[in-house]
Chain A
Amino acid sequence: MRNSSTVVLGGKEYEVTRAKLKRWLQLEDVREQIARAADREDRPGFVAQIYSYLSVALSVEDDFSQLPWFEIVEAYQQILSVNIPNLDLPLLRATSTGEKVPWDYEGRGWYSWANIFSKAFGWTLEYVAELDLDDAIALLQEIKADDQVEREWEWMLTEVSYDRKGKHKELPRPHWMRGIIIPDNTKTKIKKSMLPVGNVVRWNETPDA
């Protein structure tokens, strides 16, 4: 894992350090704009956002537009690799639908994260902005897991969580909390003499009248 790197653009060296939370979210916003421009086949927009990514990451307003394309791409990829989260958290494997809420706005990502941390821990915006990326993502996962467990408890106390037979319906968990189910393909041999005879009634089933 690399926490810093040096990129060379137009013969000038720039030190790239791993972004703290606020800067990282800004970079992720720009990365999303890059992906959207590519989807729309908006090539000028795509190029402009790549330059924007470099400017945000390096905190400079230098003009990179006359440099060879491969210098730009190499710098982009180096910055990207420095800013990849080190922890392999289930939350990061969650798939996003990419749909935006009607009250979305540019830069909302940062305010959304700041809101979650301020509410959970009473931290100031300045403190949240300087959080280490891995700490921030791990804490976010813990907050979301706590919220889900709390919701499950509240759900269990409501009448609608039980069917007509009184059986409890579990509140669905988000995909990242369900874990990876590895199918057990090993066959267990059981002696014929040990197998049950006649109709089998399981404990969790009510026999038909």
Chain B
Amino acid sequence: MKPLTLDKAVELNHLLQDHIPAIGGEQDALQFIGKIVDNIKLSNRHNDYIDAVVLMSGQDWEELKFLDSSEILRLFIDGLSINRIVTLKSFCDLMGLNNG
């Protein structure tokens, strides 16, 4: 998996901005990503999870749907890590992209 280009990273932020928890406290990366997944579940916007995996992996859902759910989760975790999701959200917040 490769880091996203700026246009796609901005789309990723748009998909996940409402699900990313506030940064702080002593939580490790896995807990942080787990919280994002929990927030997606709670919001009932499950498509955001799928769309984010499709965007980050560069694969179609038609290819991904045959994967095991844990493999999809692995792609999600790797994608967020490679794309420095916290830095991405901070940048988009700073630039006023998340004010809407």
Q: Does A169 contact B (CB under 8 A)?
A: no
Q: Is B97 an interface residue (CB 8 A)?
A: yes
Interface residues of A in 27-62 (CB under 8 A from B): 34-35, 38-39, 41, 43-44, 46-47, 50-51
> Which residues of A have CB within 8 Å of B84?
70
Q: For chain B, residues 79 to 100, give those with C-beta under 8 angstroms from any C-beta of chain A.
A: 83-84, 87-88, 91, 95-97, 99-100
Contact B5 A43 (CB under 8 A): no
CA distance A65 to B10 in the complex (A): 13
List the A side residues contacting B11 at CB < 8 Å: 43
C-alpha spacing A66/B3, complex, angstroms = 10
Query: Which B-chain residue is minimally distant from A48 (CB atoms)?
Result: B7
Chain A positions 133 through 170: 1 when the CB is less than 8 Å from some CB of chain B, otherwise 0: 00000000000000000000000000000000000000
Residue of B nearest to A69 (CB): B9
Contact A46-B10, Cβ < 8 Å, known A38-B95, A73-B91: yes
Q: Is the CB of A38 within 8 A of B96?
A: yes
* A128 CA / B33 CA spacing, docked (Å): 52
Q: Size of chain A's interface in residues, with CB distance under 8 A?
A: 19
Interface check A198, CB cutoff 8 A: no
Complex alpha-carbon distance, A38 and B97, angstroms? 5
Q: Which of B4, B91, B96 contacts A68 (CB 8 A)?
A: B4
Complex contact A73–B7 (CB within 8 A):
no
Q: Which residues of A contact B (CB under 8 A)?
A: 34-35, 38-39, 41, 43-44, 46-47, 50-51, 65-70, 72-73
**7 tightest A-B contacts by CB?**
A69-B9, A68-B3, A38-B96, A69-B6, A47-B7, A41-B100, A72-B6
A-B contact pairs, 30 of them (CB 8 A): A34-B95, A35-B95, A38-B95, A38-B96, A38-B97, A39-B96, A39-B99, A41-B97, A41-B100, A43-B10, A43-B11, A44-B7, A46-B10, A46-B95, A47-B6, A50-B6, A67-B5, A67-B6, A68-B3, A68-B5, A69-B6, A69-B8, A69-B9, A69-B10, A69-B83, A70-B84, A70-B87, A73-B6, A73-B87, A73-B91
